[in-house]
Amino acid sequence: MIPQAWKENKPKIMRRGFFFLVVLVLGVLQISDVLPTFFGIKYLPLLPLTIVLGMFEREVYGLYYGLLAGIMWDMNVGAGDGFNAFFLALAGFVCGLLMTYLMMNNLITASLLCTFWSLLYFFLIWLIFVAARGVEGSVAMLFSEYLPAAVLNILTLPVYYFSVRAVMKKFKLMENDELSF
């Protein structure tokens, strides 16, 4: 026997399960080094995906998706110490909160949020794990590795934004079809 809650919330549960699988697949691709490098810059898709999921799923599920993405990312980073999990959970939560109470959900706000969080992430990673440790040539590394990686994330954001928006619309149509008698 299927519980009543499953019948009523089936499209939402399926949508969130689908996004859970997307985060898992992209996380595995990111940590397994299968994704190509562009001009020597490693591509990190979990950051823009978390921002977009936070925007569409709002604060609570944005936090959950960010936490999942960050935990997967931290499993591969030896010196991460939970930094990625905390940062991505915070990013997903804040983006969802901003969409709920302050901003409109469109590509311009997604680009602004992705720019802010990408630049903040790569600057903090550089500051904590490179500059604070006194690595020689750290300023050059900031401009040759970290900032170009942030720009790459910003440039690929529209792919995630329009993909997540299309999935959200598809599941909204499912919700409306099930409610009609």
Task: Give the pLDDT band (50/70/90) at residue 2.
Answer: low
pLDDT digits (tens, 9 = 90+) for 70-95: 998 888 876 668 899 999 999 999 99
Give tens-digit pLDDT for 34-67: 888 878 888 889 999 999 999 999 999 999 999 9
Task: Report the C-alpha gap between 29 and 23 in whole angstroms.
Answer: 10
- What's this model's pTM, rounded to 2 decimal places? 0.89
Number of structural domains found in the chain: 1
Amino acid 42: pLDDT:
83
Cα distances from 109 to residues 55, 71, 155, in angstroms, run 9, 26, 14
pLDDT above 90 covers a percentage of the chain that reads 59
Burial of 115 (0-12, 13-18, 19+ CB in 10 A): middle
The C-alpha atoms of residue 146 and residue 97 are separated, in whole angstroms, by 27
Question: What is the residue-averaged pLDDT of the chain?
Answer: 88
Q: Sign of dihedral through CA atoms 139, 140, 146, 147? A: positive
| Residue 10, domain CATH | 1.10.1760
Residue 13 has pLDDT above 90, yes or no: no
Q: b/e for 23-49, b at 16 or more Cβ within 10 A?
A: beebbeebbeeeeeeeeebeebbbbbb
Range of the structural domain that residue 66 is part of? 4-179
